Amino acid sequence: MTVVAGGPSAARPQLIRAINEQVLLDHIRRSGPVSRTELARLSGLSKPTVSAALGTIERVGLVHATGQRTGVPGPAAVLYEVRPEAGFVLGLDVGREFLRGAVADMTGAVRSRLSVRTKAGDAMARVQELAGLATTLLVDAGISASQLTQTVIGSPGVYDPRLDTLTLTGRLSGWDSPAVLPALRNEFGSTLMVENDVDAAALAERVHGHGRDVDSFAFVSVGTGIGMGLVLDGKLRHGAHGVAGEISYLPFAEGHGSDARDARKRGSFDASASAAAVVRAARRAGVRGASSAEKVFAAAARGDEVAAEIVAEEALLVAKAVCTVIAVVDPELIVLGGGIGQAPGFLEAVVDQLRQLAPVLPEVKASVLGTDTVVAGCIAAGLDRAWEHLVARISSPSTTG
pLDDT digits (tens, 9 = 90+) for 159-170: 888 888 899 998
pLDDT digits (tens, 9 = 90+) for 187-201: 999 899 999 999 999
> Picking from 23-37, 148-162, 371-385, which range would have the lowest pLDDT averaged per residue?
23-37
Confidence (pLDDT) at 14: 78
d(CA 302, CA 201): 31
- pLDDT(149) > 70: yes
Buried b (16+ CB within 10 A) or exposed e, 268-283: bbbbbbbbbbbbbbbe
Strand partners, 237: 230
d(CA 394, CA 22): 8
Domain boundaries 210-368, corresponding CATH code: 3.30.420.40
- Provide the pLDDT confidence category of residue 300 given band limits of 50, 70 and 90: very high
Task: Yes or no: say if 296 and 289 are a contact pair by the CB < 8 Å rule.
Answer: no
- pLDDT(8) > 60: no
Looking at per-residue pLDDT, the higher value among 396 and 250 belongs to 250
Q: Report, as an integer, the average pLDDT of 57-73.
A: 79
| Average pLDDT over all residues of the chain | 89
Of residues 266, 183, 260, the one with CA closest to residue 227: 266
Share of the chain above pLDDT 70, in %: 90
- pLDDT(274) > 80: yes
Confidence (pLDDT) at 163: 81
Distances (CA, A) of 93 to 19, 197, 221, 390: 35, 7, 15, 24
- Provide the pLDDT confidence category of residue 31 given band limits of 50, 70 and 90: confident
Task: Yes or no: say if 148 and 89 are a contact pair by the CB < 8 Å rule.
Answer: yes
> Picking from 12-16, 95-99, 103-107, 129-133, which range would have the lowest pLDDT averaged per residue?
12-16
Confidence (pLDDT) at 25: 87
Q: Report, as an integer, the average pLDDT of 264-280.
A: 87
How many residues belong to the chain?
401
Task: Yes or no: say if 321 and 349 are a contact pair by the CB < 8 Å rule.
Answer: no
d(CA 274, CA 282): 13
Of residues 50, 84, 46, 52, the one with CA closest to residue 390: 84
Q: How far apart are the first and last CA of the chain?
A: 27
- Provide the pLDDT confidence category of residue 261 given band limits of 50, 70 and 90: low
Q: 7-82 architecture in CATH?
A: Orthogonal Bundle (1.10)
Q: Which helix (H) or strand (E) holds 257?
A: none
Global pTM value:
0.88
Confidence (pLDDT) at 326: 97
d(CA 286, CA 292): 14
Of residues 335, 292, 336, the one with CA closest to residue 310: 292
Say if 7-82 and 86-201+374-389 have the same CATH topology. no
d(CA 176, CA 188): 18
Confidence (pLDDT) at 388: 84
Q: Are strands 98-105 and 88-94 parallel, antiparallel or unpaired?
A: antiparallel
Q: 86-201+374-389 architecture in CATH?
A: 2-Layer Sandwich (3.30)
- pLDDT(11) > 60: no
Provide the residue ranges of all domains of the chain, joining segments of one domain with +.
7-82, 86-201+374-389, 210-368
For residue 385, what are the contacts with CB-CB under 8 A and spacing of at least 6?
Answer: 150, 152, 193
